[in-house]
Amino acid sequence: MPGSPRPNPRTSPAKAPLSLDAIVAAALDLVDELGCDAVSMRRVAQALDTGSASLYVYVSDRRELMLSTHDLAVAAVELPTDADGDWRARLELLVDRIVATLATHRDLAAVGFTEAPTGPHMLRLIEEMLRLLRLGGIQDAASAWAVDLLGQYIASAALETAARTGTEPVDATAARLDGIYQALPAESYPTIRELAPLLTSGGSARAAWKLRVIIDGLLAQP
């Protein structure tokens, strides 16, 4: 407005220096607020009060930025210790912790479907998964492929958890689906109608069962 004093550059607070850490942290904040699709180089630059061109000094493109953002998210995952049980208990706990952590960041886990995250924090988790699998007697080839399978499980479980947290309660979802299944004509969908209560049951026990089946399958391999 007229007559308002202009900010004095000597007394105005200095803008925080731009860095890779600051860029990735800003991207993660945007994911938490709006989801992955809303994250663009321009939007991150605006959050940091800089130009988009400045970001390319630190990241080559949006793909690299999203991979780094995913890696920052899993930095919070703590590795299980010997006190947490045998190799299998620790592996299940580790996977559960990764799922729970990613689920707090909206749809960020989707990065694990289209990319192979290999940042330092994710590599730390992969190293531990491989170590535990070998400790359990799983052969090397199966252990290597199992990391891929567990990665797919982690991404899907985290997305499912995040979606349910962000919309309707789990019980409400189950009730809605049960209503849909029960309303189907029995002559066309007899098996769905018969199993309808089981299709929507389980809750957290269902997630534990899925992971248990994966590990049981690995142990059953010749």
Provide the whole-model pTM.
0.87
pLDDT, mean of residues 85-103: 98
Question: Given this model, what pLDDT does residue 47 score?
Answer: 97
Question: Given this model, what pLDDT does residue 173 score?
Answer: 79
Question: Given this model, what pLDDT does residue 66 score?
Answer: 98
Spatial CB neighbours of 48, under 8 Å, sequence gap ≥ 6: 16, 18, 22, 23, 26
Backbone φ, ψ for residue 78 (5° rounding): -90, 135
- What's the one-letter identity of residue 127? E
Q: What is the C-alpha to C-alpha distance for residues 200 and 62, in angstroms, rounded to an integer?
A: 38
| Domains along the chain with CATH numbers | 20-74 (1.10.10.60), 82-220 (1.10.357.10)
The string of pLDDT tens digits covering residues 173-203 is: 788 899 999 999 999 999 999 999 899 888 7
Using left for φ > 0, alpha for ψ between -120 and 50, and beta otherwise, residue 35 falls in: left
Q: Is the pLDDT of residue 13 over 70?
A: no
Q: Is the pLDDT of residue 23 over 90?
A: yes
Contact 99, 161 (CB under 8 A): yes
The string of pLDDT tens digits covering residues 139-177 is: 999 999 999 999 999 999 999 889 876 555 667 778 889
The string of pLDDT tens digits covering residues 103-139 is: 999 999 999 998 999 999 999 999 999 999 999 999 9
